[in-house]
Amino acid sequence: MKKNESVTSLVSAFGRAYHSQFDTPKIFDDFIAKELITKNELIDIQKNMVQGIQFFNKEIAERFKNNSDEVLKWITQVQLSPTPLARAAYCESVLLNEVELGVKQYVILGAGLDTFSFRYPELTSSLNIFEVDHPITQKSKKKRIADAHLEIPNNLHFVPMDFTKEFTNTALTKAGFKQEKTFFSLLGVTYYLTKPEIKDLLEDLFDQMPSGSSIVFDYADENLFHESGLSNRVKNTVAMAAVGGEPMKSCFAYGEMESLLEDVGLLIYEHLTPIEIDDRYFRNREDYLSAFETIHYIHAVKK
């Protein structure tokens, strides 16, 4: 994390906001995301995306050179939105099922500009939500919430922590966290950690957690660093992450991921491949949206 707010979280929020406003049918409707982005930021992100089309795809740049709206749609739907949308839809579907089964705590690691607590006011009295993120990111988010005239729900607890460096239960406990069955999410994070760092983090997370606690996360498979993807989007993503100061560091074969989870006491309850993600979330669409070629989702449960 650089010494400022994560650009990744802002751009991800933009992708969700764009989808909510313009795309049909909805994969994941984050109707609050746009409230956390300023008008100037929206303009700047859109302008930067459109101006960068030559980097993404020269053919599209030429075809739509007089249609900036279509250029923005192409970049957003091909490059930017697919993974944030589908992984959020998957994670929240698992979470809501876990809530039905009695889970009362939800820990969002790397929450960024997540809006779950604002979109589910009916869970205010039954689910405690702990957002864990870098102190600078959280400070900015609180300001955005205030500027949007949103009221922080009583069940939302901010836990400032650079958990990619060191995770501590103490900070969570101070925020009211209890050692009871818990659901964790770790979205858009594993790519930026080394394999030992991922293992250490999962060990720390689940060390004192009771059986049945679980986590949803996404990860890149072993093709990450040599797969081009549709319109070179996988290669572009890796390149942009490096240029943005948040380089991607790890990818896994399925067996390797399974072994890592086994070592930390977790069993894979569900695993979605890119083909399965595409079938579940992107089937029969008439726009550019489709699942990223190298990204998988896992729901893992403590034994």
Q: What is the pLDDT of residue 8?
A: 83
What single-letter DSSP state applies at residue 160?
A: E
Average pLDDT for residues 57-74, to the nearest whole number? 96
What single-letter DSSP state applies at residue 77?
A: I
Tell which of 63, 80, 97 closes a domain: 80
Mapped onto helix, strand or coil, the DSSP state of residue 134 is coil
pTM (2 decimals)? Answer: 0.96
Q: What is the pLDDT of residue 3?
A: 42
In a domain, 2, yes or no: no
- 263: domain CATH number? 3.40.50.150
In one-letter notation, the amino acid at residue 176 is G
126 with 275, same domain: the answer is yes
17 with 138, same domain: the answer is no
124 with 265, same domain: the answer is yes
- Decide if 270 contacts 60 (C-beta within 8 A): no
Percentage of residues of the chain with pLDDT beyond 90: 93
The H or E element containing residue 14 is helix 7-22
112 with 58, same domain: the answer is no
Q: What is the pLDDT of residue 189?
A: 95
Percentage of residues of the chain with pLDDT beyond 70: 98
- Over residues 210-225, the pLDDT tens digits come to 999 999 999 999 999 9
- Over residues 196-252, the pLDDT tens digits come to 999 999 999 999 999 999 999 999 999 999 999 999 999 999 999 998 888 999 999
- Integer CA distances (angstroms), 260 to 125, 207, 300, 302, in order: 36, 15, 11, 13
14 with 47, same domain: the answer is yes
Expressed as residue numbers, the domain containing 30 is: 7-80
47 with 148, same domain: the answer is no
What is the rounded CA–CA span in Å between residue 102 and residue 108?
A: 18
Average pLDDT for residues 155-182, to the nearest whole number? 95
Tell which of 64, 80, 96 closes a domain: 80
In a domain, 1, yes or no: no
33 with 148, same domain: the answer is no
Q: Tally the domains of the chain.
A: 2
172 with 190, same domain: the answer is yes
